Amino acid sequence: MAISREAVLAVLKKVIDPVAGGNIVASGVMRALNVDETGEVRFVLEVPPRHAGSYGAVKDEAEAALQALPGVVRVSVVMTGHSEKAPPELRNTRKAEPAGPERIPGIARIIAIASGKGGVGKSTLAANLACALAQQGRRVGLLDADVYGPSQPRMLGVSGRPASPDGKTILPMRNHGVTMMSIGLMTNEDQAVVWRGPMLMGALQQMLMQVQWGALDILLVDLPPGTGDVQMTLCQKTVVDGAIIVSTPQDVALLDARKGIDMFRQLRVPILGMIENMSTHICSRCGHEEHVFGHGGVAAEAAKLGVPLLAEVPLDLQIRIASDGGAPVTVSQPDSTQAQAFRDLASALLAREVA
Ligand SMILES: Nc1ncnc2c1ncn2[C@@H]1O[C@H](COP(=O)(O)OP(=O)(O)OP(=O)(O)O)[C@@H](O)[C@H]1O
């Protein structure tokens, strides 16, 4: 019978830390827990050297309690006074497997919001979709990975540097029911950052793995435009459950969107659909409808490529004012027709069980 990590932790949480108080999991002396499928449980008790004597009994108690747990075959506990190196017997002796895409613990689904071209409204749509999904009861995260123009802090009205109480993990920000982290919060707003490939990959990995996202039903990733290192790294390192491609109806934007779709297909990421943004403009004074960038181009392209058209969002002054002011229209004017477009998009994704 395979033993679960949760069952092991439940047992360890009953073992009292005689020095720090509380249990040994909460106090942090129990580290590097490894529960493998053969029923072997290994961990380190990292204790202050001067209190080593007090932990002998703790080690015995933890070992005995775990041995009594059905499914546990072997328990090995190593006591150490420092944590620089894992003791030799704890090293994984199995050969490293090629690192394929992994799931991030606690995050049920990842959806990438992408565009071939910059400025087509990808961030605006990501912010509104995140808020609309949160309003419909989903636990939503939004990762702003647009290294060339991170705009989510402005769109979600968040500022300041994220805290890192332990110097290792990063606490995300939260507003409008959305848990958010942006590369823009890690750099000075006015500072132009020249990102090179390895730096980009490092920053993305850090934001995916070191941010304490908590339990999320869905993490939306607002990607930079185009088909570069960030897109590749995201899809190669993590399991991306789907991509949404945003485009305006213009030919040039569509051409780039097609390249984006090709890339995701090559990376085996399902295309959930396309969104036509700035689809049509309705004059706020006279109600006259104009097709500033043409209309219907994305619908035609989506049909040609065999992917669903998820939404057509108008070019609308309220949408711009709201997102540039820190409260997307879904939040600031929830009863408006503009907000309804995003709610319908969220509902459609929920109905298809992709969000
Ligand atoms: N439907 C819309 N109606 C009105 N304004 C919009 C709409 N969509 C986006 N905008 C505005 O257009 C500008 C660019 O949008 P946004 O930053 O979302 O684009 P982007 O594709 O994420 O750009 P980049 O790739 O450069 O980050 C913003 O000022 C935004 O408020």
* pLDDT value for 68: 94
The Cβ-side half-sphere exposure at 76, using a 13 Å CA radius, reads 10
CA 278 / ligand 1 centre spacing (Å): 9
CA 151 / ligand 1 centre spacing (Å): 9
- Give me Rg for the CA atoms of the chain: 24
* pLDDT value for 49: 73
Residues within 6 Å of ligand 1 by CB: 115, 118-124, 146, 149, 151, 225, 277-278, 313, 315-316, 319-320, 323-324
CATH 3.30.300.130 fits 5-90, yes or no: yes
Mutating to test ligand 1, I would choose from 323, 336, 345 the residue with most ligand atoms within 8 A of its C-beta, which is 323
In the chain, residues under CATH classification 3.30.300.130 are 5-90
The DSSP element (H or E) to which 304 belongs, if any, is: helix 297-305
The whole model's pTM is what?
A: 0.72
Atom of ligand 1 nearest to the CA of 225: 25
Q: Quickly tell me which residue has 């075959």 as its tokens.
A: 73
Q: Quickly tell me which residue has 């300041």 as its tokens.
A: 160
In contact, 315 and 280? CB cutoff 8 Å = yes
Atom of ligand 1 nearest to the CA of 118: 25
CA 170 / ligand 1 centre spacing (Å): 28
Q: Assign 218 to helix, strand or coil.
A: strand
In the chain, residues under CATH classification 3.40.50.300 are 110-351
Written out in words, the top-level CATH class of the domain with range 110-351 is: alpha beta
CA 35 / ligand 1 centre spacing (Å): 47
Tens-digit pLDDT string for the chain (355 aa): 678 888 999 999 999 998 888 898 888 788 777 788 888 888 878 777 777 788 889 999 999 999 999 999 988 887 776 543 433 344 444 555 556 788 998 999 999 999 988 889 999 999 999 999 999 999 999 999 987 778 999 999 998 888 888 878 889 999 999 999 998 887 665 555 555 666 677 788 888 988 999 999 999 999 999 888 888 889 988 999 999 999 998 876 788 888 889 999 998 899 999 999 988 777 777 777 777 666 778 888 899 888 999 999 988 889 999 988 999 999 999 999 899 999 999 999 999 877 7
CA 173 / ligand 1 centre spacing (Å): 22
* pLDDT value for 41: 87
For residue 273, is it left (φ>0), alpha (ψ between -120 and 50) or beta? left
Count of Cβ atoms closer than 10 Å to residue 204 Cβ = 23
